[in-house]
């Protein structure tokens, strides 16, 4: 179970930290779910106590420092700065997830350089962002880094994430579970609490928000018995991670 902890819908505010995260943590407690919160570390300046509270029961990993998409000018800064920031706040960090699942050629080299143990930045396909059609859909080791690729529910476009579950509802409720799921807390905000935008993608991401999002999420997670753990915990299951 993975959570991308970031500002609401690529805005400069994070209402979801107060309006959604506490309820999400209660849901995880009730269903014995342990998650990895891939956290944009600039949030620590305003939400130190909230993020440290999350870390008491769940894993905190890096989702970059500023949530800017990675390129050859900023990748090393985002990878280095976010890990250092978490360590300054005495939060251990083993994993990284790139914003938008966009990485550069030297991505794994940089992760090794700054002491990361795993990554979750590779999606299969998104027009204009990434194209990894031959990627494995289960964890594997690449350049000494455990990679948790984003699996798909319907190859190659529908990723195993809350955004897709909401967008394609009600058909998505029949889709199978995969080994990993991801969500953003802002997806559970009511429409009035989400930032306004004329962007088509942001308009689609707002679909089935609020109460409907909770309904979709709870029905999907609870429809079958399953055990949800953090990435750090999953990486310790040697039979689950393949070397390539």
Q: What pLDDT, on the 0 to 100 scale, is given for residue 238?
A: 65
State yes or no: pLDDT of 239 exceeds 70: no
Sheet of 242-243, strand order: 182-183, 2-5, 36-39, 59-62, 95-96, 118-119, 145-147, 140-142, 242-243
Question: Does 206 have pLDDT greater than 90?
Answer: yes
Closest CA to 9 of 180, 209, 219, 172: 209
Domains of the chain: 2-243 (3.20.20.370)
The whole-number pLDDT of residue 100 equals: 96
Mean pLDDT for 64-71 is 98
> What is the structure's pLDDT at 115?
98
Question: Does the pLDDT value for residue 64 go beyond 80?
Answer: yes
Residue 244 has pLDDT above 60, yes or no: no
- Name the pLDDT band for 19 (thresholds 50, 70, 90): very high
Q: Is a pLDDT exceeding 80 seen at residue 223?
A: no
Q: At 180, list the tokens.
A: 């990993």
């Amino acid at each position: 179970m993975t959570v991308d902890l970031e500002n609401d819908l690529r805005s400069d505010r994070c209402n979801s930290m107060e309006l959604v995260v506490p309820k999400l943590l209660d849901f995880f407690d009730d269903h014995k779910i342990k998650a990895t919160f891939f956290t944009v570390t600039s949030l620590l300046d305003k939400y130190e106590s909230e993020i440290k509270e999350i870390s008491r029961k769940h894993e905190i990993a890096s989702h970059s420092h500023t949530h800017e998409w990675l390129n050859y000018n900023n990748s090393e800064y985002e990878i280095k700065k976010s890990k250092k920031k978490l360590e300054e706040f005495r939060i251990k960090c083993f994993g990284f997830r790139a914003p938008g699942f966009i990485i550069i050629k030297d991505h794994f080299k940089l992760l090794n350089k700054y002491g990361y143990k795993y990554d979750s930045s590779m999606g299969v396909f998104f027009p204009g962002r990434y194209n990894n059609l031959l990627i494995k859909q289960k964890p594997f080791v690449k350049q000494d880094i455990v990679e948790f690729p984003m699996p798909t529910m319907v190859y190659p476009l529908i990723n195993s994430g809350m955004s897709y579950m909401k967008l394609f509802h009600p058909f998505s409720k029949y889709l199978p579970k995969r080994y990993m799921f991801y969500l953003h807390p802002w997806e559970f905000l009511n429409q009035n609490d989400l930032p306004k935008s004329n962007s088509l993608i942001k308009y689609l991401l707002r679909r089935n928000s609020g109460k409907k999002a909770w309904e979709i999420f709870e029905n999907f997670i609870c429809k079958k018995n399953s055990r949800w753990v953090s990435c750090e915990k999953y990486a310790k299951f040697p039979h689950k991670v393949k070397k390539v």
